[in-house]
Amino acid sequence: MMELSKEKLLDMYKTMVSIREFEQSLSEAVTAGTLPGFVHLGIGQEAIHVGVTTALRPTDWVSSTHRDHGMLLARGADIKRMRAEIFGKVTGYCKGKGGSMHLAAYDKGAPGCNGILGPSQTINNGIALALKKRGQGDIAVVLFGDGAAHRGEFHEALNLAACWKLPVLAICVNNQYAISVCFDDACAIEDIAARSSGYGIPGLVVDGNDVMAVYEAISETAKSIREGKGPALLELKTRRFKGHFEGDPQSYKTPEEIAEEMKDDPIPLFVKQMLEQEITTEETLKGIDDEVKKEMQEAIEFAEQSEYPPLEEIFTDLYYEERRNV
């Protein structure tokens, strides 16, 4: 932790707590019946969102999955506009048209979450090619789950990235379940990262519940990619504390397994690390918690007071409109 300032570490903590608060508020809205449709929550995976983004440049790009509200928040997306988007309001990042699974914040280098497994990896290669041609040392990061790692796009994208030495950082967020299918029942090897050898690129397994371990692994790997050494594959092992979607009873897990997962909560782990190293105090952390709750309440009120897009907006933003000076 010594290479990061106290202010940066506390900022990381605040972001992790903000993500948790944001996701829990969505869970409550689903339960209350005020949020229709499906949401896939990343509660328990905050260390990945924050550890990854802290190690990146603002000019890097990050493509995410359907479970990555937290990644956009960690990239600095406005929590009010995030909340409004998920509730289909015109003040949201995509004018209420993207919703939970297709959030995008281009001003934050976030081309969008994706509700389809696999395509983010191939789309990310296109972003990486553009970044390589610009030659400014920026990288294209793509996150995907263990389920997506079993699809053809995973192999196709990594093979092309390796052949062209694209500045790609491929991150498998292995939370041990692809919907309801246990990882051990769907994969013949212990680690997804081991597949990197098939493409002649580095592969590394990291504890995805330890924000500092994630930060250090991403920092070191990103440095190599920026030097033009080609792509890398990281596997961040973690757990999701909620079901595949909000409302999923998780009947495919035993009560004992669920209880065991909760022991790996990344937020208490980070708190323990900071307190042991006397970086902060419980009083300071309590003040941050209170600040986060206040900001979350303001976001809830902003979304509630925002309007839905008018009906005629259904036919806008369907196609890219190129503007030229003629």
The boundaries of the domain holding residue 242 are 6-306
Residue 319 covered by a domain: no
SS3 category, 237: strand
Q: Residue 198 carries which side chain, given as an amino acid letter? A: G
Residue 236 domain-assigned?
yes
Decide: residue 311, CB within 10 A, 0-12 exposed, 13-18 middle, 19+ buried.
Answer: exposed
Walk along the chain (326 residues) and give the pLDDT tens digit of each residue: 658 999 999 999 999 999 999 999 999 999 999 998 889 999 999 999 999 999 999 999 999 988 989 999 999 999 999 999 999 999 999 999 999 988 899 999 999 887 777 889 999 999 999 999 999 999 999 999 999 999 999 999 999 999 999 999 999 999 999 999 999 999 999 999 999 999 999 999 999 999 999 999 999 999 999 999 999 999 999 999 998 999 899 999 999 998 888 899 999 999 999 999 999 999 999 999 999 999 999 999 999 999 999 998 888 888 876 654 43
Helix (H) or strand (E) holding 93: none
Distance in angstroms (rounded) separating the CA atoms of residues 107 and 87: 21
- How many other CB atoms are found less than 10 A from the CB of residue 27? 16
In angstroms, the Cα distances linking 208 to 2, 67, 263 are: 20, 15, 14
Would you say residue 173 lies in a domain? yes
Task: Judge whether 123 lies within some domain.
Answer: yes
| Residue 318: predicted pLDDT | 82
Domain CATH number, residue 196: 3.40.50.970
pLDDT of residue 156: 96
As for how many domains the chain has, the answer is: 1
The residue type of 91 is T
Q: What are the CB-based long-range contacts (under 8 Å, 24+) for 75-78?
A: 75/105, 75/108, 75/109, 75/110, 76/108, 77/105, 77/108, 77/110
